[in-house]
Amino acid sequence: MAMILDGNALSAEIRTEVAADVAQLTAATGIVPGLNLLLVGEDPASTVYVRNKSKDCEKVGIRSIVLRLPAAATEAEVLHQVRVWNADPSVHGILVQLPVPKHINEHLVIRTIDPNKDVDGFHPENAGRLMIGLDGFIPCTPYGVLEILKRYSIETSGRHVVVVGRSNIVGKPLAMLLAQKRPQGNATVTICHTGTIDLAEHTRRADIVISAVGVHGVITAEHIKVGAVVIDVGINRITLPDGTTKLTGDVLFDEVSMKASAITPVPGGVGPMTRAMLLRNTLTSAERVAGVKQ
């Protein structure tokens, strides 16, 4: 039976560390880290996510405000708001919750955020910095996965990692980070995606499988080598035969956990880590402004 990689416990640890570091920064410099969140429209899931991110901030001493614009808001209005926050020195992090309504160009919104306040790590400058190994902001989900590997002392150097999924938010940055000569890196990395002919042929050779697809059941026991580590980034809502719904990952947890040496559950694995790393990135941004961090 696999060891459970407990994202709830680890994220609590990280929140405690961030709270202590926030208190220290504020005591030393008077700076209170601030995260401003913009939600355009009324998507129920996005509304919950933004509310949770804001609550997380308050608990660790990060000031946070949520601005809600109607779904009909124009692209110009959204860009204007981002620019106002870019110019406000009390704002250290800017997060525009995605997806934005279709009439708004998501890439343009992301590019308008000051890269020094882009705590999501989505701006092309931060994506480029990550690619070439410079400091910037690491997107929160890849960052959370690296923290799981680090805090459970899971060796990546020289090992074969298969990343399933090639999104800009998770798969691509994670694959880049794992391949770099850095802690939680130096791995041999394979990226699989919807164009992969025989997924199991690749994943069965992996020491670590990371699935970020968003489809329940893409990773079964057949896909996993005995003793492999399995990180499940997927968050999928499925309907059970009795009509109720539940959250699941990409991985068939019950059968895979019989074969793997360690596995993240869903919920309670990568999800809470993503939220915790947003707090860490916001604090890092404030620390850079204060000149106490590179």
Taking contact as CB under 6 A, which single stretch among the options 79-87, 92-100, 250-258, 264-272 is the one that binds ligand GUN? 92-100
Q: Which is nearer to ligand GUN, 18 or 94 (CB)?
A: 94
The CB-of-64 to ligand GUN minimum distance in angstroms stands at 14
| Distance (Å, whole) CA 13 – CA 144 | 13
How far apart are the C-alpha atoms of 204 and 197, rounded to whole Å? 14
Residue with smaller CB distance to ligand GUN, 96 or 162: 96
Q: Which is nearer to ligand GUN, 143 or 253 (CB)?
A: 143
Catalytic residue among 21, 97, 118, 172: 97
CA distances from residue 251 to 6, 44, 177, 215, 238 in whole angstroms, order as listed = 16, 25, 22, 9, 13
36 interacts with ligand GUN by CB under 6 A: no
Q: Is 11 in the site for ligand GUN (CB under 6 A)?
A: no
Residue 24 among the catalytic residues: no
**56 catalytic, yes or no?**
no
Would you count residue 229 as binding ligand GUN (CB under 6 A)?
no
40, 73, 95, 224: which one binds ligand GUN (CB under 6 A): 95
Q: Which is nearer to ligand GUN, 171 or 260 (CB)?
A: 171
- Compute the least distance from the CB of residue 160 to ligand GUN, in Å: 28
Residue 124: cis peptide before it, omega within 30 degrees of 0: no
Q: Residue ranges of the alpha helices (H) in 37-170? A: 44-60, 75-86, 106-112, 124-132, 140-151
Q: How far is the CB of 139 from ligand GUN (least distance, A)?
A: 7
CA distance 178 to 24: 31
**CA gyration radius, the chain:** 19
Of 35, 140, 189, 283, the residue at the interface with ligand GUN (CB under 6 A) is 140
Examine the residue annotation and report whether 6 is marked as an active-site residue of this protein: no
Question: Do 128 and 154 contact (CB within 8 A), yes or no?
Answer: no
Q: Which residue's CB comes closest to ligand GUN?
A: 98
- Region from 90-98, 189-197, 236-244, 279-287 binding ligand GUN, contact rule CB under 6 A: 90-98
In whole angstroms, how close is the CB of 222 to ligand GUN at the nearest point? 30
CA-CA distance, 239 to 231, in Å (whole number)?
Answer: 23
Q: Which one among 91, 96, 161, 263 touches ligand GUN, defined by CB under 6 A?
A: 96
Whether the CB-CB separation of 140 and 277 falls below 8 Å is answered with: yes
- Cα–Cα distance between 147 and 125 in angstroms, integer? 23
**Phi, psi dihedrals of residue 94, rounded to the nearest 5°:** -125, 130
Among 21, 56, 120, 147, indicate the residue that binds ligand GUN (CB under 6 A). 120
DSSP 222: G
**What is the C-alpha to C-alpha distance for residues 37 and 48, in angstroms, rounded to an integer?**
12
Nearest distance, CB of residue 47 and ligand GUN, angstroms: 12
Write the single-letter amino acid at 223. Answer: H
Which of 6, 53, 81, 259 is catalytic? The answer is 53
| Catalytic hit among 6, 56, 118, 120 | 120
Distance CA 176, CA 156 (A): 13
Least distance from ligand GUN to the Cβ atom of residue 169, Å: 6
Using CA atoms, how far apart are residues 134 and 147, in angstroms rounded to an integer? 18
Annotated catalytic residues are 53, 97, 120
The binding site for ligand GUN (CB under 6 A) comprises 95-98, 120, 140
